[in-house]
Structure 1
């Protein structure tokens, strides 16, 4: 799925808007991808195909329950191959085209992907398991986990 933002076209690799689709999945499903009618994860293999040989600009959008849009952009985003457990890298946080107060992926840069059944993070326990069984590029159970538990109440103010 493609979207337009600021006069540019982006390939959407993850989308969550209703929270009906569980992202508590194992390694194979995160590699292949999964979806329902609105929410989806494109799949690590596809993300690697899109970015592995030609790094892209990553645009992260998060909307609060009060409809405030936060944007973070990252240059040189790439995801490695299966041999490297789909390691995620980016060059720099583009603060000039972002309105997030800080680089929410700094802790994840250079990390291998982890799932509940494949622990590649930098923590003694499985960050995937302790963060809702969702897959992500964890490093010591980092702050950022958009595949984690979907909060469907305004108490968290993000969805």
Structure 2
């Protein structure tokens, strides 16, 4: 699918406004008779054309990489700083390779400190996906090809699935996997139905 077609789909679903110069693009919300700008989101992951390699080492995932106008990862340390005080919700918007739009939300989202390998804590799932495919990644530490913190004693899941993620043994989603592959090393949601994706955007904001 061309980039122009992606833009049309995203605009149709109200996901994005083009052009944009920063990752803060969520519309303000009207609450109690006034606009609340705190409702704006901070995007921390986007995959849209596969031009950025996500099969990277620990340092890159901590510091972040890519271009905020395209494919990028904000960085684990930044995520920790944003979420450490709590009261943060997270939303994932995805488009499958068949053209279906999926959205999942978590009422609570927190990333731990580097001393705990940026452990994921989530709760309060809702959405239209077939199932909560982050549930079994909850309370897992982040792993990369050169920093194995998963629960598997037989393999490094980040190396096996070609990404960086909160792998368990190994897990049920791989949103930082190889964009161009169509197997378990690829870019997918739902370890049961194995839904291949062509787009994802992960974002956080303070709960209103």
**TM-score (structure 1 length as normaliser):** 0.89
1:12 counterpart SS class = strand
Aligned residues: 153
Is residue 51 of structure 1 aligned with residue 90 of structure 2? no
Deviates more, 1:59-68 or 1:137-146: 59-68
Mapped to 2, the partners of 1:74 and 1:136 lie a distance apart of: 17
Could you tell me whether the CA contact under 8 Å between 1:108 and 1:139 is conserved in 2?
A: yes
5+ residue gaps, structure 2, are 1-22, 30-38, 183-194, 199-208
Aligned match for 2:94, one of 62, 83, 88: 62
Match of 2:159 in 1: 129
Match of 2:172 in 1: 143
- Any idea what the Cα deviations from partners look like across 1:6-34, whole Å, max 9, x if unmatched? 95532111001010110010000000000
5+ residue gaps, structure 1, are none
| Larger-Rg structure | 2
Deviates more, 1:53-62 or 1:78-87: 53-62
Could you tell me whether the CA contact under 8 Å between 1:19 and 1:152 is conserved in 2?
A: no
Aligned match for 1:99, one of 85, 106, 128: 128
| Off by >4 Å, runs of 4+ in structure 1 | 5-8
Deviates more, 1:11-20 or 1:65-74: 65-74
In angstroms, what is the RMSD of aligned CA positions? 1.9
Is residue 158 of structure 1 aligned with residue 197 of structure 2? yes
Mapped to 2, the partners of 1:114 and 1:157 lie a distance apart of: 21
Q: Would you tell me which structure has more strand in proportion to its own residues?
A: 2
